[in-house]
Structure formats: C-alpha cells, structure tokens
Amino acid sequence: MIRASFALSATLSLLAVACGPTSPAITTDDVAETSDGTTTTGGTDESTTTDPSSAGPTPGTTGEPTTGEPTTIEPTTIEPTTLTTGGPACGDGVVEGGEACDDGNLDDTDACTSACTAATCGDGLVHAGVEGCDDGNGDDNDECVQCQPAACGDGFVGPGETCDDGNLVDGDGCAANCIAEFCGDGVVQAGEECDDGNSDDDDACTSACKIAVCGDGIVQTGIEACDDGNPIDGDACLNVCLVATCGDGIVHTGVEACDDGNDEDLDACSNACQAATCSDGAANGAETDEDCGGPNCMPCSEGQVCAIDTDCQSGNCEAGSCGGVTLVVPDCAAANVDAAQVFSMVVQPKCGCHTGGSGGLTMTDAATVKANNVGVAATNADMNRVTAGDVDQSYLLYKVLGQQNNVPGGGGSTMPLGSTLTDAQKCLLVNWVKSGAL
C-alpha cells in the first residue's frame, strides 16, 4: 500500500507539472483510496470521485461535455538507485580502460604503481627487489645508473670518477678505482716501460715512463757521467755516457790530435793526445832517438840509437847504434887466456855470491864461461853475452866495465855487485874473448 501511495503521489506530481498552475496541487496527504477502487482528496468536507461520467463541463469552457471510460492510475514502483563516480577506479583490482595494470592496492614499490601503470626504470619510483634506486631520469652519469647505485666498473663515469671502462683492472688506462691512469701514478700501464710514481728524470725510470738508457739525453745519477742523446763517440760524451778523456782510445774531434788509449809518452801519440813530431824533444813515434831516425825525421848522429842504416847520418847502424858501439877497455897486453883462468882468477873470487842481479846476466852463470858456453844471448841486451873474438859484441864485458847503458836494450848495475875488478882482471876477460873465449 505504501509503495502504491508513493507511486501515485509521484504520478500526480508529474500531472500537476503538466497541467500548470490552473489545477491545485494534490499532496499525498489529500489522497485516499476507497473500497471501490476510487480515490478521494482530503482537506475539505467535500468528496470527489474519479468517475468522469458524473463530471460536468469545466466552468469557463464551451462545447459539449466529454464522456469516456473511467481512468484508473496504475501503481508505479520506483526502485532506489546507487550513487557512483561514473567510471572505472584504479585500485579496484580490475584492469579497465586506460589502465596498464591494477593489482588492487596503491603500493608504489611493487610492479604496478598507484596510478595503475607498470613499474619501469626511470619512473621515479623504486621497485622493491628489482631497482636499487630510481631518480626519475635517464642520466647515466649521476648517482643512479639504470636504476642501480652508481659504482666504479659500471661503464659510466659517475661522481668522483674520472673514467670508467667497465672493469676493475689496472694498467689499461683506467685504474681499478676509476681514476684515469697517467705516467707517474706508480702503475705500469699499456705503453709504459716503467712507472716509479715520480717525475724524476735522474733515476732508472724517466718522467716519460721509459727505462733510462745511455743515449736518451738524460743523465742517470750515479750511473752516467754524461748523456748527450746521440751515439757519436767523437764528441765530449762517449756513446757509453762517459766524458771523453785523453787516453780513452777515442779521438775527441777538435780537441785531440790522436788517442792511442795509453799514457805512454814515447810512442806516436803523446800522453797529451798530440801526435809525435820531429821537434817535440822526445824520442817518440817512429823515431829511433830524440827527434831523429825513422821515416819522418832527419837521420841520427853517430852514437844515437838506430834500427836500420838509413836511421844514421853515416848510413852505418851496428848493434843498434849509428857507427856501432865501441867498448872502452883498459890498455891490455895481448895474451891467450882460457876459461879455466877466468873462472879461477875472476869468477870464483869475485862473483861467487852474485846470483841474479843485473837483469838476469850473472857472472856465476857466466861460469858458463867455465863450460866454454859461448854465444848465449843476453836477456836484457841486443847482443850476445859473449861473441868469440869480438869484444865490442860481448855484452858481458860492457857489464863488467860499467858501459852497459851504451848498448841498446842494455842497462842495470855494473858487475860484479859489491866488488870491483882490477884492470888486470878486466884485461884477463878481454883477452879471453879475444882469444876465442875457449
């Protein structure tokens, strides 16, 4: 009954709107249902039926009254409605138009964001368990790289890095700490022979990271005396990085005339590295005596040293002396003397203790005289000890008479040591040689 009343009320309201203000409004309080199916209006003592046959013409109208079948208003039921937003809602768990996903929650850290979009790197939301960071941009050179915290070795140069080659290997140009490698960083990298971590050019590794070598133009302290950066041996610095000096065997161009590698002053190159000349006051070079002899100087005078006849002005070189060597002897009477006499009267009394002086020429062994061993070469002279019949070519006599220095190659002390021969003893030796040294 209540639903019917409500429906009727709604219908009457609509009719009232349609009819306009000429008809008084009918409220639900004025409508009652009779037992015969008709309705009455309340609010007055009069009752009105809905039978149209009993109704007269409307005042103020003309024409014939209208008759018709009675009209019955059917009850109308109005169902209550639910208020909605008018479209799909993100977070309702249903993927609807415009949504990429809908997981039924508003969590921004899972695979579906609170805006129902699929979580992606660069959306500014950190996808838990998948992303380590998300700064909302595509910049790979900041602190978040492809949604992971920037790290050395990720291949992108980030804050605090000067390089990043995607590995943690030293020696390839970018160190394992993502700092660009350079000569002097203490790490030997590609293209470097060494790297001692400093820019010192005086040690074993140069500032160019090259192993120090002679000829690189850099003086290595304690090892090289000089280094002029070239392989030339004739300048002030040899190619072994030593300072050129006279006597090193290398002619220093413009400074030395010669350099024979020794400090001998009597050869062709003086110890001042100047070439020998025929006026330098020394017997040097090819000279046989001081400033004479040899192929380049004037011939020598009599008594000067010679090697061949052309070394002498006289054209006569004997026993290494121009004009020959002459032994000065006492005035001795000629006599025949044999070795036994020499031994008993000279060697035995005077030379018994002499065993090795005078450069190896011993009178005791010139007791070879005793054995008549004639012609034994003297060890320190350019003539025989004894030449039978030739006093001037018997070195033993030069030694005994103190004239050993006149013989080319001769020298040393006069024999016998510690004693002096009398002229009679000397003549005994001279006559022994003249007698054939028998």
Average pLDDT over residues 21-40: 43
d(CA 310, CA 303) in angstroms, rounded, equals: 14
Side-chain half-sphere of 396: how many Cα atoms within 13 Å? 31
Predicted confidence at residue 50, as pLDDT, reads 43
Which DSSP symbol is given to 414? P
Predicted confidence at residue 381, as pLDDT, reads 64
* Tens digits of residue pLDDT in 273-288: 988 889 888 888 889 9
Which DSSP symbol is given to 418? T
User: Predicted confidence band at 49 (pLDDT cuts at 50, 70, 90)?
Assistant: very low
Which DSSP symbol is given to 344? I
- Measured CA to CA in angstroms, residue 62 lies from 103, 226, 306 at distances of 73, 145, 188
Residue 330 has pLDDT above 80, yes or no: yes
**Residue 11 maps to a domain:** yes
* Tens digits of residue pLDDT in 378-413: 455 667 778 888 888 888 888 888 888 877 777 777
**Residue 112 maps to a domain:** no
**Residue 87 maps to a domain:** no
d(CA 306, CA 134) in angstroms, rounded, equals: 107
d(CA 250, CA 282) in angstroms, rounded, equals: 23
**Residue 246 maps to a domain:** no
Report residue 145 as tokens.
Answer: 């790289």
23: containing domain: 2-39
Residue 174 has pLDDT above 50, yes or no: yes
Residue 292 has pLDDT above 60, yes or no: yes
**Residue 159 maps to a domain:** no
For the chain, what is the domain count?
2
Q: Which of 27-31, 66-70, 208-212 is least confident? A: 27-31
Who wins on pLDDT, 142 or 366? 142
Residue 9 has pLDDT above 60, yes or no: no
User: Predicted confidence band at 18 (pLDDT cuts at 50, 70, 90)?
Assistant: very low
Predicted confidence at residue 22, as pLDDT, reads 43
**Residue 265 maps to a domain:** no
Report residue 199 as tokens.
Answer: 């820019």
> Does this model's pTM top 0.75?
no
* Tens digits of residue pLDDT in 237-252: 999 999 999 999 999 9
**Residue 65 maps to a domain:** no
Predicted confidence at residue 133, as pLDDT, reads 94
Predicted confidence at residue 320, as pLDDT, reads 84
**Residue 396 maps to a domain:** yes
